[in-house]
Each structure stands twice: as structure tokens, then as C-alpha cells.
Structure 1
Amino acid sequence: MRLAELSTETGVSVATLKYYLREGLLHPGRALSRTSADYDEGHVERVRLVRALSEVGGLSLARIRRVLEVITDPGTDRLHVLEAAQRTLAPEGAVPCDDPGAGGSDGAHEDASRERVLAWVERHGWQVDPHDPFVDELARAWEACDHAALGLDEERMDRYADHVEGVAEVDVRSVPADPVRAVRHVVLGTVLVDPVLVALRRLAQQHVSRGLQGSAGSGAEAATDDPDGRVSS
């Protein structure tokens, strides 16, 4: 198919497709002449993938390029595929923290937040890389909850972690054995399933809230069924 047909098939404008080609987000088509090329279903899939990563996953073009590079040429065995995939999804500019106290004037403060997370992780029995960028991300997020006085103490964190571990079990057990497919599965599954989990959490909160309101209402009716409004024993 020509570029115009690719545009019709994917719903992406020709101008945007040309931009994807210039930025390396879309691989070149088979050259037919100096000014035209032929595109196939692989290009359709790639364009839809870029749109999903951008519109659903909320990734910047720079991070999309990094994701595409990893899933195209992972260069790793299955033992390290999860780590490689997750590093691809780390916040922009994040790096493994080999020197936690090297953050300037705020280094000691950040180090204390990291140490709290690492102590909690160890107590909870999780085996993680202590230098992983997501340790720092959790430290910042947890501290933000503290500043907002949300009451996110270690007991509540434990309860969250127990449920998240169940989600992780589903994730990890669904990873294919083949390294190339595994990286693609982990990266795309994380980016595109995260919004699903967020939406599920919102709906579950609504469900639980309505259930609790219903239970409270039933209890009130049962307690005030005396015609004179006296509470029955």
C-alpha cells in the first residue's frame, strides 16, 4: 500500500506518518521509486502501536523510541528480560542509583526516604535491586503521601503490596519464554495494561463504597423497624 492508503488504514494523517518516518518511529517502506514506497501490514501494526503507546500509555515520543528499540532488538536472555523491559519504562532521566547520597543538598533527605523504602521492602520479604530507579520513585511517592497526610503507613503499604503481588504473579506467569516476545510482552503489557488497572481500581472503589453504603442502610432499617421509630433490640 502507498502512504495515503496507510493513512486511511490507520487513521493517522500523512503528515504525521512522514514525521514518524523522519523520527525513526516507523521503519521505511520498500522503495518503488525515488519518491514513493510500498508499506505492508507490519507498518500498520507499528503505527497502531505508536498511537497506543502515546494515547493510551501516555509516553513521550522519546520514550516510545526507546521502547521500540528494546522490543525490536532486546539483546538479552529471558533471565534479565523483566529488568531490561522495566528499565525501558523508568521515568525519563532516571538511572540506577549507585550513590544515593550524591544528590546535592537534598541528597541526605532523599537517602533517608530511600532507606525507609528499602527497610520496608526487606521486612516485607521482597527481593529487588536496591539501586533500581523505581525504588527512588516509590520513595518520592510515599513521601508525597506523607506530606498530604494520607495516613499511608507501613501497615497500609503491606496490604497494598499483598494485592499488587497477586497482580505481579499474573504478569510474570504470562511472559513468553522467547526473549524477543518476552520483552515485547512485558513492555507493552505494562504500558497498556497499567491504564486498565487504574480504571479497575476506580470501579472497584465505587463498587466497595456502594456495598458499604448498602450494608449501612440495611442495618439502619433493621434497627428502626419499630412503627414508633424506637430502636429494636
Structure 2
Amino acid sequence: MRISELSRRSAVPTATIKYYLREGLLPPGRATAATQAEYDESHLRRLRLVRALIGVRGLSVSATREVLGAVAEHAGERHQVLGLVLGARPVDEDAPAPGPAPGPAPEPAREPAPGAAEVDALIGALGWEVSEYAPARAALGETLETLRSLGAALDPATLRGYAELAERTAVLDLDQLDPDADPLEQAERALLRTVLLEPALLALRRLAQENESARRGG
């Protein structure tokens, strides 16, 4: 397909596609003339993923390039690809740890992140397989610490109840993905549904709370 057709099918302006090509977010098409090229379905899938990473997840062009590079390294591993695209794991997770730097003695080990022990205990109790680098670990730990500091700490049973609700939601999320689809297409759909559906899930929770309050209050 020509770039005009690629633009029409992806809903991305031609000028933006040319910018993505210059920035290395899209591989070049097959040259057919000095100023013309042909593109295929792989360009369309990648372009849709780029659009989702920048327009929905809000990544910069440079960050998007890093994610796409990491995705290319794990092209045959759907679990890794989804984790990278959704931000569940950093792009440099597998990078070797740097060696000791010359000079003064290293600083003392840092204190554990807020709530880290509680989060680790929850994940262990549920038997979840979660990367130690997952940003959501720190986000959950900080939230639990904030609740505790305000006198609204969650007891372990309540926290586990919320986690089990989240587990069922995750099953619904991944059940909607076509297992036979291209990994890039799966990643784009997962990203759209994760980011764009979160406000709807919050709204449903508010509606359910109002209904439950009315039920209990008669």
C-alpha cells in the first residue's frame, strides 16, 4: 500500500507517518521510486502500536523508540511484549548490573521501598508471578503506606479481597485478546483496553458503591 493508504487505514496523518519514519519508529517501506515506497500490514500494525504508545499511554518519541526496540528483542514472547507495552516491566530489565565504580566506598544500602514487605507478602500468598521490577509494586506499596499514615490501613484479608477482584478483572482483560492475532496487534489492543477502560472501571465502582449504600440504607 502507498503511504496515503497507510494513513487512511491507520487514521494517522501522512505528515505524522513521515515524522515517525524519520525518527525510526517505523521501518522504511519497499522503495518503488526515488520518492515513493510501498508499505504492508506489518507497517500498519506497528503504526497502530506507535499511535497507542504516544497518544494513549503518553510516552515521548524517544521512550516509544526504546519500548519498540525492547519489543523487537522479545518478538516471540507475548508475555514479555505485553509487559513492555503496558509498562509492567522496564525496557532495561534484562540489562546486566553495572560493576563497582572506582573511588569512594559505596553508600549504605537504601531502606526498602514503602510498603514493599506488605506487597511481597500479598503476591506470595496469592501465588502470583510478578516481575520484581514491576512499577505497580511500588505504586501499591506507596498507597498502602499513605492509607496507614492517615489511619485508614487495610487489613490483610481486605487487601487480599481487593487483589482477588483485580485477578478476576485481569482474566476478563486477557480473555478479550485474540490468541491468534499478531503480537503487535495484541499489544495495541491490550494497551487501549487497559488505559482507556480504567476510567470506566472506576465509574462502575462508584455506581456499585451507590447501589450498595442504598441497599444497606433501605
Please give the TM-score of this superposition, normalised by the length of structure 1: 0.65
Change (3 A) 1:141 1:27: farther
Q: Whose relative contact order is higher, 1 or 2, with alpha carbons under 8 Å and at least 6 apart? A: 2
Native 8 Å contact 1:70 1:183 kept in 2: no
Label 1:150 to 1:71 Cα distance change in 2 as closer, same or farther (>3 A). Answer: same
Q: What is the aligned-residue RMSD (CA, Å)? A: 3.9
- Superposition deviation, residue 86 in structure 1: 1.7
Equivalent pairs: percent with the same residue?
A: 28
Indicate the larger mover: 194-203 or 155-164.
194-203
Q: Quote the residue 2:158 is aligned against.
A: 156
SS of the counterpart of 1:193?
helix
Which residue pairs with 2:68 in the alignment? Answer: 68
Q: Aligned letter for 2:111? A: A
Whose helix proportion is higher, 1 or 2?
Answer: 1
TM-score (norm 2): 0.69
Q: Could you tell me which residue of structure 2 aligns to residue 28 of structure 1?
A: 28
How far 1:59 moved relative to its partner?
3.2
What pairs up with 1:203-222 in 2 under 5 angstroms?
203-212=203-212, 214-215=214-215, 219=218
1-structure distance, mates of 2:8, 2:185: 26
List alignment gaps of at least 5 residues for structure 2.
98-105
CA positional deviation for 1:28: 1.2
Matches within 5 A, 1:92-107: 95=93, 107=110
125, 141, 144: which one pairs with 1:142? 144
Structure 2 Cα separation of the partners of residues 195 and 175 of structure 1: 15
Structure 1 unaligned residues grouped into runs of 5+: 220-233
Larger radius of gyration: 1
Number of equivalenced pairs: 207
C-alpha separation in 2, matches of 1:163 and 1:82: 21
2: distance between equivalents of 1:177 and 1:216? 42
Q: Distance in 2 between matches of 1:151 and 1:127?
A: 23
Alpha carbons of structure 1 residues 117 and 200: separation in structure 2 relative to 1, 3 Å: same
Q: Which residue of 2 aligns with 1:19?
A: 19
* Corresponding residue for residue 193 of structure 2: 193
Corresponding letter in the other structure for 1:74: H
